Amino acid sequence: MTFFGNAPNRPGRSAAGRGIAWGLTAALWLLPAGCATLRKPKVVPDSVATCRQLSCDAVAAMQRGQWEEAHQLLNKAVSMSPADMDARRQLAEVLWQTGQRQEAAVQMETAVRLDPRHAPTVVRSGEMLLGLGAADRALARAEEAVALDPTLASAWALRGRVYRQQGKLEGALADMHQALRYSGNDAALLQDLAELQYLMDHPQRCLATLRHMLSTTPPREQSQQALWLEGLAYGKVNRHEDAAASLYAASLKGTPQPELLYQLAQAQSAAGRTQEALASARQALAANAQHAGSRELVAHLEGVATPGMEATLRR
């Protein structure tokens, strides 16, 4: 059962192109006489230099949100220098962001073939494969990445997410803990861990994880998913007022899904706030008139709110 809305894709955690330093650097060498001097810069073909400049311009376009321009620049970059791994990775990210996901995965696979020992690229390839539903291939990429760099948090996280999709929750939990050893304050990893703890019926641990994550996040940056999950976990331990507060805060983060509004109404009803619960359930129906749970809850709450109807409903 999905206990809240589909988790957003998270490609940004290992998005290619950000923070990449371009250009050639001269190396410092110690000569036999004990003096240090700069080696002459290595001359690169014009095609490679042009590719790197185009890639740099594309990164700037991505940062401005100009995806079509970035796509055009990177197509040119790859055609100028097909063996440039960074250009391939950046092209894959642009394709992924613009919904061309199959082609994005192909480009990232090509980048892996160009440098099979670059663990972050292997991980990103696996993330894309997992996003396309190819769990077995994604698991293979995760295993490769862990073998290449056992301290890479994203490699453990990828394997954990594959295990979760396969229903292997214990293995997923172990891998998320391992990922957090190397990136202890990563909000996405903490969210994943909290979701697993909730799914495995450990609401108190889930709440502890979420408190740690939310305590280090400014209120404006707290995600709807985290607040939503916090509300559900509070409900599991019968803290209905806290559940209602968290779910209400989640509902203010963007447009709330009918399921979120329905769960907010349930929490408000359990806390004895019938009129607020009725308003939330009606809001859910305004968003989706076919939401069965909200329709049933509205019918019940309208009876409770109308004198003489509650006893009839209970019979």
Alpha carbon 242 to its chain's center: 26
pLDDT in tens, 80-113: 889 998 999 999 999 999 999 999 999 999 999 9
pLDDT of 50 reads 87
Cα angle 182, 184, 185 (rounded to 5 degrees) comes to: 135
pLDDT in tens, 173-201: 999 999 999 999 999 999 999 999 999 99
pTM across the whole model: 0.79
Q: Is 92 helix (H, G, I), strand (E, B) or coil?
A: helix
Q: Residue 229 — pLDDT band, cuts 50, 70, 90?
A: very high
pLDDT in tens, 127-169: 999 999 999 999 999 999 999 999 999 999 999 999 999 999 9
Q: Enumerate residues 6+ apart whose C-beta is below 8 A from 200.
A: 169, 173
pLDDT in tens, 230-283: 999 999 999 999 999 999 999 999 999 999 999 999 999 999 999 999 999 999
pLDDT of 42 reads 54
Residue with tokens 């940062």: 63
pLDDT of 311 reads 42
Q: Which of 37-51, 65-79, 247-261, 290-304 has the lowest mean pLDDT?
A: 37-51
- Kindly list the domain boundaries of the chain, sorted by start residue: 185-239, 255-315
Mean pLDDT of 215-224: 92
142 CB burial (10 A radius; 0-12, 13-18, 19+)? buried
pLDDT of 175 reads 98
Q: Residue 44 — pLDDT band, cuts 50, 70, 90?
A: low
pLDDT at residue 20 greater than cutoff 60: no
pLDDT of 303 reads 83
pLDDT at residue 16 greater than cutoff 50: no
Q: Residue 59 — pLDDT band, cuts 50, 70, 90?
A: confident
| DSSP assignments along 100-145, one per residue | -HHHHHHHHHHHHHH-TT-HHHHHHHHHHHHHTT-HHHHHHHHHHH
- Taking all residues of the chain, what is their mean pLDDT, rounded to a whole number? 86
pLDDT of 80 reads 87
pLDDT of 11 reads 35
Positive or negative, the CA dihedral 143, 147, 148, 152 is positive
Q: Residue 15 — pLDDT band, cuts 50, 70, 90?
A: very low
